[in-house]
Amino acid sequence: MTTAEKISNTPEKRDIALAAIQMVSGTNVDENLLAAERLINRCVAKGSEFVLLPEFFAVLAGSTIDPPEFSEDYGDGPIQVWASDIARSNRIWLCAGTISIRADDGGRPYNACILFDPQGSICARYDKMHLFKFQRKQEQYEEANIIRAGDQPVSCQAPFGHLGFSVCYDLRFPELYRRMMSPNPLDLIVVPAAFTETTGHAHWQILLRARAIENQCYVIAAAQGGKHPNGRRTHGESMIIDPWGEILDLKKKGAGWVMATLRHQRIAEVRQKLPALGSARWIKS
């Protein structure tokens, strides 16, 4: 079953200004958080109310991900405190890309996407379910050696719509999103990521647009995008996509952001013109 958390009883979903932050994070947590805060402040100044940070925004240290020594207890740790303070001080919804969260048994940590509301409270947590594995010549990644997989899809109902969470490699598994489309279809899919340059160049944009088109909802993707101090290259191309698959804003490489407005009229228009969700035999409308 999908884990869904009710955040608000507001009957009317409202439009909201979205922003996705792109970074080239390194090994210094303080420097990364300062860089993120500067980018968030610029997006807020331009009217953003929902901000998504990329995967490993606070630290990208190893060849694959941040090692266990950067992990925190859930609900208590400097990175989570920082995110809570940023959300509260700016009165925004802040989706904190991923934060390494310790497991109760002391084993490998989870790679958790955590949503903070404008009061700075945690509203939802999703642990990345699909762990990246890739090998081509000298380029090798196996996340399962360092982190553990989550076991539950997570969505939540906010005043501005129904959100579905995913992280990076999850993007290759469309069944994850289909499970979150019932009984209430998603309005927004969030995708913090650190796609490698190799796989990102080949598939990133195609996969993102496919998820928007098949689920007829907005997709917001915040990426790492550049050459990191450890030598790793990430693809970038943070973007926001509408329910028809149109790219509304895109940032190629380097630190920066993308912005667009989630419009519920646009979602309704697409679903009315092409009622594909109602035709799917495994989705209850």
In DSSP terms, 161 is beta-bridged to: 158
Catalytic residue among 168, 197, 237, 253: 168
Q: How many CB atoms lie within 10 A of CB 125?
A: 21
Which overall architecture, per CATH, does domain 15-279 show?
4-Layer Sandwich (3.60)
Between residues 167 and 6, the one the model is more confident about: 167
What percentage of the chain reaches a pLDDT higher than 90?
76
Is residue 7's pLDDT more than 80?
Answer: no
**158: Cβ contacts below 8 Å, ≥ 6 apart:** 7, 8, 93, 117, 123
Catalytic site residue from 43, 49, 55, 237: 55
Closest among 49, 154, 42 to 94, alpha carbons compared: 49
Question: Taking the model in full, what pTM does it have?
Answer: 0.92
pLDDT tens figures, 195-219:
988 888 999 999 999 999 999 999 9
**How many C-beta atoms lie closer than 10 Å to residue 99's C-beta?**
28
In the block, which residue shows the tokens 């913090």? 192
Q: Domain boundaries in the chain?
A: 15-279
Q: Each residue of 83-103: pLDDT tens digit?
A: 999 999 999 999 999 999 999
Identify whether 252 is a catalytic site residue. no
Catalytic residue among 43, 49, 95, 128: 128
Q: Which of 236, 242, 238 is nearest to 261 (CA)?
A: 242
117-162 per-position pLDDT tens digit: 999 999 999 999 999 776 777 666 778 688 899 999 999 999 999 9
**What's the whole-number average pLDDT of the chain?**
91
Please indicate whether residue 197 is annotated as part of the active site.
no
**pLDDT for position 63:** 52
Confidence at residue 128, expressed as pLDDT on a 0 to 100 scale: 96
Has 123 been annotated as catalytic? no
